[in-house]
Structure 1
Amino acid sequence: MVSWVLSGFADEIDADPAVQLAVLLALGAGHAEVRSAWGVNVVDLDDAQVAQLGSLVARHGMAVSAVASPIGKSDVFADPSVELARLRRVIAVGQRLGARYVRLFSFYRPAGVDVGSIRDIVLARMRAFADVAERESMVLVHENEKDIYGDVPSRVLDLIEGVGSAALRVAWDNANFVQVGVRPFTDGYAMLRPHLEYLQVKDALSDSGGVVPAGAGDGELPETLTALRDDGWTGFASLEPHLADPAFPGVLSGPRRFGEAASAFRSLTSSLGISLAAVS
């Protein structure tokens, strides 16, 4: 049986990292993806908070799969030095937490600006990011997010191949592809599989764009996971449920709905002969 390593966006559970880690452990995950702790984004955590978070992770016998940074979720025409400095900080945080991966994006553009007109700027900025990651022996994983340059498979491919660095790889998100009118497996899998490094797990409905548990939407999760299994892919599968629970305001999912997402994904992977492990 193929085995993948289960992780999850811990701050979708609760703002308190102690609660985040306890719930992830109960769901069989030995890793956490860190986006925020105590309500503070990872890029803004101070050194004392990073040390405290690292101690909590170690105390729970866990590890950090990736730092889910907001880098590149900004205006492509903004001062590039600002985002580069933020990336350096995020990489330092990731290193202190023992993570190898940093999630990032490929920039928004102002209304009315044609996406093709920003290509060279995006590639130059991403190349600068990759240069930093190469020097620090870290891997940047680009998430396909709606309305950024790399929101559809063809532009994700252009970005990865245009930068041409082993330090810039793909974080694949089926739901985000659905939200921009893409059939993820049909339209993008063969194209992006050589660059696919990290799996972010959620699903979505094509008619509304609403996010649903894995396998309950139009994200072609069964086809994607089957192909990854047959290709021999191994790596982190990180739950990012985005399932709002009114009982837990202030977080994206809450523990109950996060558990629902974990259960759906585990059921789907089990039916495909894929096991989800706590460690690699």
Structure 2
Amino acid sequence: MERKILTNCPVSCFADEIDPSVDKQTALLKELGIGWIEFRSGDGKGVADYTEKEAEALMRRLSADGIRISAVGSPIGKIDITADFAPHFETYRHVVELAGIWDTSFIRMFSFFIPQGQEPGSFRDEVMRRMDRMVEYAARRNVVLLHENEKDIYGDTAERCLELMKAFYGEHFRCTFDFANFVQCGQNTLEAYDMLRPYISYIHIKDALWESGDVVPAGEGDGNVAEILSRLDREGYAGFLSLEPHLADFAGLKALEKEAKERGRTDGESAFCTAYQALIKLLG
């Protein structure tokens, strides 16, 4: 029997992929025994659109179900680098307030979309200026910005992620490692892991196919998920494993429809269960 790995790592998730309804999200999470959410949206509202009163009400609902928020799945930094930064920074300040209400210090963020067809390096100074201002504010408010690699942003490749880490890494700026996003950027994940391991504080669990970029259950793509999870285990990683299924375009999803109907589950619920089961299999 294979040894279990990463046993001290709590599993979190983007539960809005189950259903827009928070009640339906939490119902399935309780069934699966998942006690954490990386909150991105619920009940028809994106996370940054929640008022403080709504955030407090959500916190009471989640707490009653024994569910906590591992990180704010924010859209911060997911705007064009040429867009006005001032209103976006105000949104960021609001998200920091929400993090406090939800009792998490972690805020997922990005490093700005680069105009299509233009050289990312030509926008480096502006990216760094904006990142510096956000990290400085994070330090003042004692939160941790978790930079996620994402296609088409400045920090899409491991090399530019490393550049950001060397500039800002510390108590308030760290790395979220996303397997599928690297694959979709044409970045070898083993090379990315070797470059970024000292800075990784959070893991997104999703996989993708090299040729098409399609997202598939973890371990079924070209993200080297099993090997990297094993390396994380050997190297003592004890952070979150945050499940982000993204299986809406998964070719095998249609085959699940019969089983979903038999169990009374929607496609979203069934796809989420498939992603969760794939992760559990990888963990032994």
TM-score normalised to the size of structure 2? 0.90
Query: Secondary structure in 2 aligned to 1:3?
Result: coil
2:218: which partner in 1?
214
Native 8 Å contact 2:35 2:66 kept in 1: yes
Whether 2:69 is the aligned partner of 1:64: answer: yes
Structure 1 gaps, min length 5? 271-280
Whether 2:67 is the aligned partner of 1:92: answer: no
2:264: which partner in 1?
none
2:276: which partner in 1?
262
1:119: which partner in 2?
124
Native 8 Å contact 1:175 1:203 kept in 2: yes
Q: Counterpart of 2:274 in structure 1: which amino acid?
A: E
Native 8 Å contact 1:11 1:35 kept in 2: yes
Q: 1:164 to 1:261 in 2, by over 3 A?
A: closer
1:24-103 alignment runs, 5 A limit: 24-103=29-108
Query: Secondary structure in 2 aligned to 1:207?
Result: coil
With 239-248 and 37-46 compared, the bigger mean Cα shift is at 239-248
Whether 2:194 is the aligned partner of 1:190: answer: yes
What is the rounded CA distance, in whole Å, between the counterparts of 2:83 and 2:98 in structure 1?
23
Cα deviation for residue 62 of structure 1 reads 1.5
Greater fraction of residues in helix: 2
Q: Counterpart of 2:174 in structure 1: which amino acid?
A: R
Residue 176 (structure 2) aligned to one of 171, 177, 190: 171
Query: Secondary structure in 1 aligned to 2:10?
Result: strand
Q: Counterpart of 1:101 in structure 2: which amino acid?
A: F
1:150: which partner in 2?
155
Q: Counterpart of 2:196 in structure 1: which amino acid?
A: L
Q: Counterpart of 2:111 in structure 1: which amino acid?
A: S
TM-score normalised to the size of structure 1? 0.91
Whether 2:227 is the aligned partner of 1:223: answer: yes
Please give the root-mean-square deviation of Cα atoms over the aligned residues, in Å: 1.7
Aligned residues: 266
What is the rounded CA distance, in whole Å, between the counterparts of 2:238 and 2:117 in structure 1?
41
Native 8 Å contact 1:6 1:28 kept in 2: no
What is the rounded CA distance, in whole Å, between the counterparts of 1:111 and 1:207 in structure 2?
21
Q: Counterpart of 2:161 in structure 1: which amino acid?
A: V
Q: Counterpart of 1:84 in structure 2: which amino acid?
A: F
Native 8 Å contact 1:21 1:32 kept in 2: no
Which of the pair has the greater relative contact order for Cα pairs under 8 Å at 6+ separation?
A: 1
Query: Secondary structure in 2 aligned to 1:4?
Result: coil
Structure 2 gaps, min length 5? 261-266
Give % identity. 42
Cα deviation for residue 112 of structure 1 reads 3.2
1:277: which partner in 2?
none
Cα deviation for residue 163 of structure 1 reads 2.5
Cα deviation for residue 164 of structure 1 reads 4.0
What is the rounded CA distance, in whole Å, between the counterparts of 1:7 and 1:85 in structure 2?
27
1:201: which partner in 2?
205
